[in-house]
């Protein structure tokens, strides 16, 4: 599903793109699985967090990808702190 919201990529180095719920869902799911969460639980957490981010996005015409990550991490922390930590660290590891 592509909401009509422009996502400005990191540092503006790449062109903006439409928000993709699948992409967000996949990244949260991967974070949950990487901390050995069972698949079913990871799927439901990814759905819940994606829905929360979409609610937040509804009033905004344009956001940065870092904003989306920050809000997703905030919601993910309430469901699974370890997964939220890995999600936040993704770009800060190397």
- Residues near other proteins (CB under 8 A): 29-31, 33-36, 39, 82-83, 85-86, 88-94
Quick one: three-class SS letters along the chain?
Answer: CEEEEEEECHHHCCCCEEEEHHHHHHHHHHHHHHCCCCHHHHHHHHHHHHHHHHHHHCCCCEEEHHHHHHHHHHHHHHHCHHHHHHHHHCCCCC
| Distance in Å, CB of 28 to other proteins, minimum | 10
Beta carbon of residue 34, minimum distance to other proteins (angstroms, whole number): 4
Instruction: Give whichever of 17 and 82 is closer to other proteins, judged by the CB atom.
Output: 82
Query: In angstroms, what is the minimal distance from the CB of 48 to other proteins?
Result: 18
């Amino acid at each position: 599903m592509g909401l009509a919201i422009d996502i400005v990529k990191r540092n503006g180095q790449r062109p903006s793109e439409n928000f993709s719920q699948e992409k967000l869902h996949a990244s949260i799911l991967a974070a949950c699985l990487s901390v050995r969460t069972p698949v079913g639980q990871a799927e439901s957490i990814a759905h819940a967090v994606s829905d929360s981010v979409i609610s937040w996005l509804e009033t905004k015409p344009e956001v940065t990808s870092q904003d989306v990550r920050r809000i997703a991490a905030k919601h993910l922390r309430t469901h699974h702190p370890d997964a939220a930590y890995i999600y936040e660290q993704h770009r800060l590891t190397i």
